């Protein structure tokens, strides 16, 4: 008799974005012909850089000739790409070896899968608010405990509040936890951890034999050279941190799909000596994954070429200019705006203390602008909305103008 994984039933209310889509659809049905201006989902909108397209074409062309055709590749990724990713870390002063790099089809699958190499008993700490995948994948794996609807929390998980007072980066937990998810630059708050802040987590993890899962999917958006782009810029981090990253936002690969995970040889935990976690992730990937697309990996190599980096930076600059337009526009009408300086997300405090979903509805009905309610990212997201800087320039300008003209609150 088959039975289901009942932990799926513990997942709290449906995913955030379907609810947003539902409300936007309902508005459009009631107001036919009104154009909706979308500042909601963090999806890339600008075309791929020419050098990257050439790389993808090269990958496809190679498949057309018997001399260059390849079938299954290494599960861990093309050696050239692993080396190129390791070389990016070297530029940051971080020492990452090729065999510590695992190429994948994106950061989201890796974020979801990495928990499988840890015990179901592990206590998980997340930033609050956080990218929902950290919480949901651990709930499915049985680490959540019961959902407390009144608090909006799972009772076996530790929520690390990210508030206005702490600059949206948390203090280390006061109790003992085993797995700690940190996202910097942060989705949704747009906050970036300093080296000193990350050093405190590294110290905590080493003391408690905990492991940090560091999500650096937005690292390329950091402009301030003093801010760390990788946790491995912090001394000792290789002993306690796994880093997951992505080509999605830095190169427009949201639909193309490519990412990577670094599992350092030195990384240890309570019952894993040096090399064990790396070997386990290798085993996991070899068992469940057949390698990232060879065409896409060729594109990834083009992204990391000197010319590719130059062109991708222009697209990032475009999104960051969008962020500036949003930040200045919304600040000008008295809204309190955070983030958007070293990250493509802006975290906007709701006016007059209204709830996130209420402000979402006000912006939708008055300005026809779609945002993301902060409450969907965790209890401490209440009272904020997330605004995304991904979008075409004209749409961004139109949306900001509409809020400035039409918001009456
Ligand atoms: N990590 C964070 C923090 C994200 O916000 C996202 C996507 O929005 C991802 C990972 C997903 O990355 P990928 O497209 O590589 O799966």
Looking at residue 222, its pLDDT comes to: 98
CB neighbours of 409 closer than 8 A, spacing ≥ 6? 351, 352, 354, 359, 362, 366
Examine residue 57 and state whether it is found in any structural domain, yes or no. no
Looking at residue 232, its pLDDT comes to: 98
From 183, 192, 215, 217, the mutation candidate for ligand 1 (largest count of ligand atoms within 8 A of CB) is 217
> What percent of the chain stands above pLDDT 90?
96
Per-residue model confidence as pLDDT tens digits over 57-66: 999 999 999 9
Residue 243 Cα to ligand 1 midpoint, Å, equals 13
Task: Indicate whether 108 and 210 sit together in one domain.
Answer: yes
Q: Flag whether pLDDT at 258 surpasses 90.
A: yes
How many Å apart are CA 32 and CA 27, to the nearest integer? 8
Residue 409 Cα to ligand 1 midpoint, Å, equals 33
Per-residue model confidence as pLDDT tens digits over 184-236: 999 999 999 999 999 999 999 999 999 999 999 999 999 999 999 999 999 99
What is the torsional sign of CA 103, 109, 111, 114?
negative
Domain with 147, as residue range(s), is 70-305
How many Å apart are CA 122 and CA 125, to the nearest integer? 10
**What integer best gives the mean pLDDT of the chain?**
97
Looking at residue 260, its pLDDT comes to: 98
Task: Indicate whether 37 and 186 sit together in one domain.
Answer: no
Examine residue 183 and state whether it is found in any structural domain, yes or no. yes
At residue 13 the predicted structure's pLDDT band, cuts being 50, 70 and 90, is: low
CB neighbours of 203 closer than 8 A, spacing ≥ 6? 172, 236
Looking at residue 16, its pLDDT comes to: 81
Q: Flag whether pLDDT at 15 surpasses 80.
A: no
**Nearest alpha carbon, ligand 1 atom 2:** 217
How many Å apart are CA 404 and CA 54, to the nearest integer? 41
Residue 383 Cα to ligand 1 midpoint, Å, equals 24
Residue 217 Cα to ligand 1 midpoint, Å, equals 6
At residue 18 the predicted structure's pLDDT band, cuts being 50, 70 and 90, is: confident
Q: Flag whether pLDDT at 74 surpasses 90.
A: yes
Rounded to the nearest angstrom, the gap between the alpha carbon of residue 408 and the centroid of all alpha carbons in its chain is 33
Report CA-CA distances (Å) from 89 to 83, 103, 109.
10, 14, 22
Report the CATH number at residue 247.
3.40.640.10
Which pair of structure tokens corresponds to residue 234? 């912090």
Task: Indicate whether 301 and 312 sit together in one domain.
Answer: no
Examine residue 127 and state whether it is found in any structural domain, yes or no. yes
β-pairing verdict for 241-246 and 211-215: parallel
Task: Indicate whether 300 and 343 sit together in one domain.
Answer: no
Task: Please identify, by atom number, the ligand 1 atom nearest to the C-alpha of residue 43.
Answer: 8
Instruction: Tell me if residue 102 falls in helix, strand or coil.
Output: strand
**Nearest alpha carbon, ligand 1 atom 11:** 108
Residue 404 Cα to ligand 1 midpoint, Å, equals 30
How many Å apart are CA 298 and CA 6, to the nearest integer? 41
Task: Please identify, by atom number, the ligand 1 atom nearest to the C-alpha of residue 183.
Answer: 3
From 108, 242, 345, 377, the mutation candidate for ligand 1 (largest count of ligand atoms within 8 A of CB) is 108
Looking at residue 154, its pLDDT comes to: 97
**Mean pLDDT across the stretch 126-154?**
95
Q: Where are the beta strands (DSSP E) in 110-187?
A: 124-128, 147-148, 153-154, 158-161, 179-183
Looking at residue 379, its pLDDT comes to: 96
Final residue belonging to a domain, choices 266, 289, 305: 305
Task: Indicate whether 91 and 194 sit together in one domain.
Answer: yes
Name the helix (H) or strand (E) containing 401. helix 393-406
Closest by Cα among 123, 70, 125, 100 to 285? 100
Q: Flag whether pLDDT at 364 surpasses 80.
A: yes
**Mean pLDDT across the stretch 98-113?**
98
**Mean pLDDT across the stretch 133-146?**
97
Task: Please identify, by atom number, the ligand 1 atom nearest to the C-alpha of residue 108.
Answer: 16
How long, in residues, is the chain?
A: 409
How many Å apart are CA 53 and CA 211, to the nearest integer? 37
Task: Indicate whether 230 and 315 sit together in one domain.
Answer: no
Residue 281 Cα to ligand 1 midpoint, Å, equals 19
Task: Indicate whether 182 and 325 sit together in one domain.
Answer: no
* Ramachandran assignment for 201, one of left (phi > 0), alpha (psi -120 to 50 degrees), beta (any other): alpha
How many Å apart are CA 253 and CA 311, to the nearest integer? 14
Examine residue 217 and state whether it is found in any structural domain, yes or no. yes
**Mean pLDDT across the stretch 24-41?**
93
**Mean pLDDT across the stretch 153-164?**
97
**Mean pLDDT across the stretch 339-361?**
97
Q: How wide is the angle at C-alpha 221 spanned by C-alphas 315 and 205, nearest 5°?
A: 150
Task: Indicate whether 142 and 226 sit together in one domain.
Answer: yes
- Pinpoint the alpha helices (H) of 243-348: 248-251, 276-288, 294-304, 306-332
Instruction: Tell me if residue 241 falls in helix, strand or coil.
Output: strand
Task: Indicate whether 314 and 283 sit together in one domain.
Answer: no
Final residue belonging to a domain, choices 305, 329, 363: 305
Which pair of structure tokens corresponds to residue 379? 């209890």
Looking at residue 388, its pLDDT comes to: 97
Rounded to the nearest angstrom, the gap between the alpha carbon of residue 148 and the centroid of all alpha carbons in its chain is 25
Examine residue 56 and state whether it is found in any structural domain, yes or no. no
> What percent of the chain stands above pLDDT 70?
99
Final residue belonging to a domain, choices 305, 337, 366: 305
Which pair of structure tokens corresponds to residue 251? 């190169």
Instruction: Tell me if residue 167 falls in helix, strand or coil.
Output: coil
Examine residue 341 and state whether it is found in any structural domain, yes or no. yes
Task: Indicate whether 265 and 140 sit together in one domain.
Answer: yes
**Mean pLDDT across the stretch 286-311?**
98
Examine residue 60 and state whether it is found in any structural domain, yes or no. no
Which pair of structure tokens corresponds to residue 112? 């979801």
Residue 107 Cα to ligand 1 midpoint, Å, equals 5
Task: Indicate whether 241 and 211 sit together in one domain.
Answer: yes
For residues 148 and 91, the answer to whether their CB atoms sit within 8 Å is no
Task: Indicate whether 141 and 240 sit together in one domain.
Answer: yes
At residue 12 the predicted structure's pLDDT band, cuts being 50, 70 and 90, is: confident
Q: Flag whether pLDDT at 328 surpasses 90.
A: yes
At residue 14 the predicted structure's pLDDT band, cuts being 50, 70 and 90, is: low
**Beta partners for 214?**
182, 243
Report the CATH number at residue 368.
3.90.1150.10
pTM over 0.85: yes
How many Å apart are CA 357 and CA 283, to the nearest integer? 43
Examine residue 52 and state whether it is found in any structural domain, yes or no. no
The total number of structural domains that make up the chain? 2
């Amino acid at each position: 008799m088959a039975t289901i994984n009942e932990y799926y039933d513990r997942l709290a209310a449906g995913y955030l974005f379907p609810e947003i889509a539902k409300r936007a659809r309902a508005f459009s049905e009631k107001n036919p012909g009104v154009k909706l201006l979308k500042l909601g989902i963090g999806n890339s909108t600008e075309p791929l850089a020419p050098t990257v397209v050439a790389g993808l074409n090269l990958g496809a062309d190679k498949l057309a000739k018997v001399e260059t055709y390849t079938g299954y590749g290494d599960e861990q990724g093309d050696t050239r790409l692993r080396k190129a990713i390791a070389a990016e870390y070297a530029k940051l002063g971080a020492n990452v070896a090729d065999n510590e790099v695992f190429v994948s089809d994106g950061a989201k699958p890796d974020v979801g899968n990495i928990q499988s190499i840890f015990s179901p008993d592990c206590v998980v700490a997340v930033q609050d608010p956080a990218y929902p995948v950290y919480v949901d994948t651990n709930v499915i794996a049985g680490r959540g405990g019961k959902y407390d609807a009144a608090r909006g929390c799972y009772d076996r998980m530790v929520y690390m509040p990210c508030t206005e007072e702490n600059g949206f980066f948390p203090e280390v937990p006061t109790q003992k936890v085993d797995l700690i998810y940190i996202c910097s630059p942060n989705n949704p708050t747009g906050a970036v951890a300093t080296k000193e802040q990350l050093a405190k987590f590294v110290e905590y993890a080493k003391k408690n034999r905990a492991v940090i899962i560091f999500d650096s999917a937005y690292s390329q958006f950091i402009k301030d050279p003093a801010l760390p782009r990788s946790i491995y810029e912090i001394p000792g981090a290789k002993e306690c941190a796994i880093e997951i990253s992505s080509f999605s936002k830095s190169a427009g690969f949201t639909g193309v799909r490519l990412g990577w995970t670094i599992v350092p040889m030195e990384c240890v935990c309570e019952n894993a000596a040096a090399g064990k976690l790396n070997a386990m992730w290798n085993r996991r990937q070899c068992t469940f994954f057949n390698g990232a697309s060879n065409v896409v990996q060729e594109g990834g190599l083009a992204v990391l070429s000197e010319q590719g980096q130059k062109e991708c930076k222009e697209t990032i600059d475009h999104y960051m200019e969008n962020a500036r337009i949003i930040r200045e526009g919304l600040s000008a009408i008295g809204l309190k705006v955070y983030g958007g300086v070293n990250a493509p997300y802006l975290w906007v405090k709701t006016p007059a203390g209204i709830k996130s979903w209420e402000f979402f509805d006000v912006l939708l009905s008055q300005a026809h602008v779609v945002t993301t309610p902060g409450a969907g990212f965790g209890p401490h997201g209440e009272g904020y909305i997330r605004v995304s800087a991904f979008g075409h320039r004209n749409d961004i300008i139109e949306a900001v103008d509409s809020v400035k003209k039409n918001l009456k609150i």
